[in-house]
Amino acid sequence: MGADGEKSRQLLLEISAMQFAIHGFHKTKISEIVKEANVTQPTFYLYFKNKEAVFQELVDMFKEKLYHHVAQSKLPADIAEEGLKGRIAYGLCAVFELFQQHEEVARIGFVISEEAANIKEQMTAQIESNLKEEAELGYFHTNINFGVVAAAMVGAIEYLAITKLWTGTHKPEELAEEITNLFLFGLKNNYSIEIS
């Protein structure tokens, strides 16, 4: 495939992502995709077998990028205490930036597709694995269910992406910092006096 062919294919992917994100899978029509891309239907079928194929490619692209970011967010063994919060926020920010930069594809992969629940389960499993390894390194205490923590993080990421990031009210770094503070320090005021 030449440079023009690759441009056409990429354009079809981008417009398909936008159409799927707006209309969902069933209401998206190939005729609308090719009309917006200013190509013919035979051109679409040159690159994709059918609507399902382009949709699945978008989901697969999202999964690959997401799993890469989640795997990369695992803390290395040599972080000093004072750098821990920043490193955690950095990893979360990368995930939110992925959701922001590829909003349509993220909506498809994380919200719309039939695979969305499976994608979130795999993301939760990777975060849980990361947390367990990080606890073994001494970053976190071990008297907590990391599966529950990981599921809560994924739920928070999804909800905040939908209600804050994609609405434009918060930036990736703001959301990453808030989640980091919540999960790292909790809600309890360390200076409060316990009243019995």
How confident is the model over 27-42, as pLDDT tens digits? 999 999 999 999 999 9
Global pTM value: 0.85
Higher pLDDT, 118 or 192: 118
Match 């990031």 to its residue by tokens.
165
Structure token digits, residue 130 = 């990361």
How confident is the model over 173-187, as pLDDT tens digits? 999 999 999 999 888
Residue 77 CA to residue 134 CA, distance in Å, equals: 8
**Span 156-166, average pLDDT:** 97
